[in-house]
Chains A and B, each alone.
Chain A
């Protein structure tokens, strides 16, 4: 089984989004496991700057060749930036899920929500469990 990159400094959802927090700004994307499971990404539907985010609620979707998946927000807040580069080249999500393939930035409304998310170790165990079951 292929191993998936899981950076130690991020927090994760069980639906395979990651969030990187810098002060009150959260950067959000999907994990390496997610992009590998989805396969070639051909379109990402993202919210607009100013839209409200609610933790665990969908904020967009990813269309891969084979399937579509909802994106679930790891945190509540307000969208402050959207990665325009994805629109021109959705495959950046496959190539660089933690870098140029980031999806949105948001201002956090409740930093305590981060405690509900998984650490890298917890997420690695979650992924390992899914791969066992597969």
Chain B
């Protein structure tokens, strides 16, 4: 049913570049281009890669109550950051289950919520329902996902391939900060953050301008070895950093405290947020599960859903693999798993049921990859 898939403004360019197009969250997106996942991964680690992330959702909260209402939706505390900064957090339901993981931009008089492609419709419905119940200062919700495109430029040399086109000194934009500026003469919002562990930027710009900017950045970086990068290496890069992926580590059945996102959950804030009571109760009662990182022995790779057992290899599983695969940077099999709290600790040997065979793995500290250039 290929014709039901949605297309970003860059779709024709992905096809032209030879991208292997696959369905992702309702969108027809490039898994990789002809160089393949491994080379694209390496380009991002050593030079830079350019990702089309226009399939994500971009929602604005406006009005006098913008900050308060946005803060009500998320587990982190926007009041603690200045305008010009962003934060990462979870959006939870009243039970404390994760509806989505989001980046949230505090602008001068509005808030931008960036949500995962697969959760766009659900978050829009959720937010509009909560707004209808909202009794705080007036706020409104605006879906500008179609009006705006979104690029992620990631890699240790990312800045040099975009700096010339931007009417702003990017050195003044720190990690998790952003600038509202112009890019090739049209308005753009540029933030220094990403999903790879490397330095880099997320760029928001008018949808009809995305193609020109995509071309200009690729041109600027081509000689240095920058590549267009697909969803395949986006996944291997984030897994090496042990970053959560919605649908793998995160779901309605998992709390952000279990998924290792406790640092993005501000339980003590005085203005209540959705899920706060449940999360507080979970923390008081003891968080039932925890996220672990592991490295497998040998060449067989762990994959999502496989059971995790203690080193003895007997009895019931202590949990399951949420993400697993090959680490191109480390050249070993790595993975993340959700297990019973304190059932294992760093350095322990575990066993994973890989398609009927027990594969040994060692619990290791996260992130797996520690040489990233992000700052």
Chain A residues with CB under 8 Å of chain B are 2, 39-40, 42-43, 45, 61, 63, 65-68, 91, 94, 134
**Among all A-B residue pairs, the 7 with the closest Cβ atoms:** A43-B299, A40-B38, A42-B326, A65-B37, A40-B36, A63-B301, A40-B37
Chain B, residues 281-318, CB within 8 Å of chain A (1/0): the string is 00000000000000000011101000000000000000
- Does any Cβ of A come within 8 Å of B355's Cβ? yes
Q: How far is the CA of A63 from the CA of B303 in the complex (A)?
A: 11
Are B232 and A63 within 8 A (Cβ)? Answer: no
Chain B, residues 13-27, CB within 8 Å of chain A (1/0): the string is 000001010000000
Are A45 and B299 within 8 A (Cβ)? Answer: yes
Name the distance in Å between A121's Cβ and chain B's nearest Cβ: 26
Are A65 and B2 within 8 A (Cβ)? Answer: no
Which of B236, B299, B303, B328 is the most central at the interface, judged by chain A CB atoms within 10 Å of its CB?
B299
Count contacts on B: residues with CB < 8 A to the other chain. 19
Q: How far is the CA of A98 from the CA of B344 in the complex (A)?
A: 45
Are B32 and A68 within 8 A (Cβ)? Answer: no
A-B pair number, CB within 8 angstroms: 44
Are A66 and B299 within 8 A (Cβ)? Answer: no
Q: How far is the CA of A68 from the CA of B305 in the complex (A)?
A: 14
Nearest opposing residue in chain B for A37, CB measure: B20
Which of A40, A43, A94, A134 is the most central at the interface, judged by chain B CB atoms within 10 Å of its CB?
A40
Q: How far is the CA of A47 from the CA of B325 in the complex (A)?
A: 22
Nearest opposing residue in chain B for A63, CB measure: B301
Q: How far is the CA of A108 from the CA of B328 in the complex (A)?
A: 38
Are A39 and B299 within 8 A (Cβ)? Answer: no
Chain B residues with CB under 8 Å of chain A are 2, 18, 20, 31-32, 36-38, 232, 235-236, 299-301, 303, 325-326, 328, 355
List A contacts of B303 (CB < 8 A).
67-68
List B contacts of A91 (CB < 8 A).
38
Which of A42, A43, A68 is the most central at the interface, judged by chain B CB atoms within 10 Å of its CB?
A42
Are B20 and A43 within 8 A (Cβ)? Answer: no
Nearest opposing residue in chain A for B233, CB measure: A65
Q: How far is the CA of A83 from the CA of B341 in the complex (A)?
A: 44
Nearest opposing residue in chain B for A67, CB measure: B303
Q: How far is the CA of A61 from the CA of B355 in the complex (A)?
A: 11
Name the distance in Å between A51's Cβ and chain B's nearest Cβ: 16
Nearest opposing residue in chain A for B328, CB measure: A65
Q: Which of A39, A42, A63 contacts B32 (CB 8 A)?
A: A39
